[in-house]
Amino acid sequence: MADIEKVWLTNPSRRAALARMTGLMATSPVAAAIAQPDPRPISEHRRALSLAEMQTCFDFEPLFFGNVTRSVYDYTAHGDGSEFTLRRNRQAYDWVDILASRAPVPTSQVDLSSEFLGLKLKFPIIVGPTSGQGALHPDAEIGMFKAATAASNTLMMLSAVSTMPISQVAPASPGGTLWAQHYPQESLVSTQATLDRYQNAGAKGIIVTIDQQASYYERDLQDRNFGGRVLSQGGRGAGGGGGSGVPTPGIVTGASRYRISGGRLWYTWQYIDACRKMVQGPLLLKGIMDPEDARLAIEHGADAIIVSNHGGRSMDYGPSTLEVLPDIVTAVSGRIPILFDSGIRRGADIFKALALGANGVNLGRAARWGLAAFGSAGAQRVIEMMQQELVQVAAAAGCAKLSDINKTKVRAHFV
């Protein structure tokens, strides 16, 4: 061995390097796997909260996220374009103060029951139409309907793009109340067939959604179009109160790749006139964001309207639903009931919408979180949480009944 090699073997720097490498190997995952055959390293362990430990609806979202694929999660979570309107829907609740009452009432004295288009509601809360629930949990729409019925017989609106046909959902919860959503179809023959199917299956009310004109979901495009493979963006939106099923694979080019569909951008009031003749019970129009549209809805036979921007999915850079609600309430002037949706996460959010003039609210994403996290029991828990949170806020604000919740209880400072 050459002298230089002997020096290298006994060099302190080499010994220090070997010691550091030995330490590194001892702490590496490879070495740990060799030394410890346990197939479940502690670094991979997590404890999810149980249903009994859920405290607010926000507790359900992480479990929803963990239980579904990313594309399914993003399909529920996304908004149109940059998602400005999606964020604004939530921010708007921060711009409305609930005024403290000098005379709060005990929660035991709060009765928020009401009548809505002939239905007796214990709480002014409805499960709105959201699509593709079979991708969230095997209980799917049947589970959501059972949850709504179990939670004080809450009205549920079935999505036009349900993963289960209404003929299976309607009889699954005896005693429950199910209405159905309809997306406009240019063919009146097809429209008649669809509405007849809903009504023959037991839907007592029909909701025509008119706000999904065009949508561009960047989050979906990013998730699904990497790698040169373009996937279909599906039909209409979902989550914040309505929409279509989870997108399905398929080669799509041109405008359809960006969800600009020829099946939209044509809706007319004449179509609503035609639907009015086909619907035997209540006809609701969902997607009203303008006072003049609210007045026209009444003229064309709507029994109620839903102030909604599809949970931020119908048009980016629009106002929040809470901001436009007061002007729409003024335009309607009590002639028909007004429902409200988009961004609701707390009982306090519901209280603010009611105080600004809504007669009731629709839950969208929040109910989906519950279903994906724990199935039907989770959805029921979310609905009941919202009900009890609303009671607590009403009691603190001195409101013993629904009519006590009015604009004198809040102060809005929209920006």
The amino acid present at 186, given as its one-letter code, is: E
- 55, with CB counted inside 10 A (0-12, 13-18, 19+), is exposed
**Is residue 250 predicted with pLDDT exceeding 90?**
no
- High-pLDDT (> 70) share of the chain, %: 77
Q: What pTM was computed for the model?
A: 0.83
**Is residue 75 predicted with pLDDT exceeding 70?**
yes
**Is residue 49 predicted with pLDDT exceeding 70?**
yes
Q: Lowest mean pLDDT: which of 24-33, 97-106, 110-119?
A: 24-33
User: What mean pLDDT do residues 237-260 have?
Assistant: 48
Q: Lowest mean pLDDT: which of 31-40, 127-136, 397-406?
A: 31-40
Task: Convert the pLDDT of each residue in 309-346 to its tens digit.
Answer: 999 998 899 999 999 999 999 999 999 999 999 999 99
Strand partners, 411: 97
What are 300's two structure tokens?
Answer: 């064309």
Residue of 373 and 24 predicted with greater confidence = 373
3-state secondary structure of 415: coil
Q: Which pLDDT band holds residue 189 (cuts at 50, 70, 90)?
A: very high
- 293, with CB counted inside 10 A (0-12, 13-18, 19+), is middle
For position 100, what pLDDT does the model report? 87
User: What mean pLDDT do residues 14-28 have?
Assistant: 53
For position 198, what pLDDT does the model report? 98
Residue of 216 and 404 predicted with greater confidence = 404
Domains of the chain with bracketed CATH: 3-44 (no CATH), 54-412 (3.20.20.70)
Strand partners, 307: 288, 340
**Is residue 9 predicted with pLDDT exceeding 60?**
no
Q: Lowest mean pLDDT: which of 5-9, 97-101, 108-112, 322-326?
A: 5-9
Catalytic residue numbers?
A: 310
For position 265, what pLDDT does the model report? 73
Detail the DSSP E strand segments found in 53-159. 96-98, 114-116, 119-121, 125-127, 156-158
User: What mean pLDDT do residues 12-21 have?
Assistant: 55
List C-alpha distances in Å: 51 to 12, 43, 63, 146, 363: 60, 24, 10, 17, 19
| Cα 379-363-134 angle, rounded to 5 deg | 50
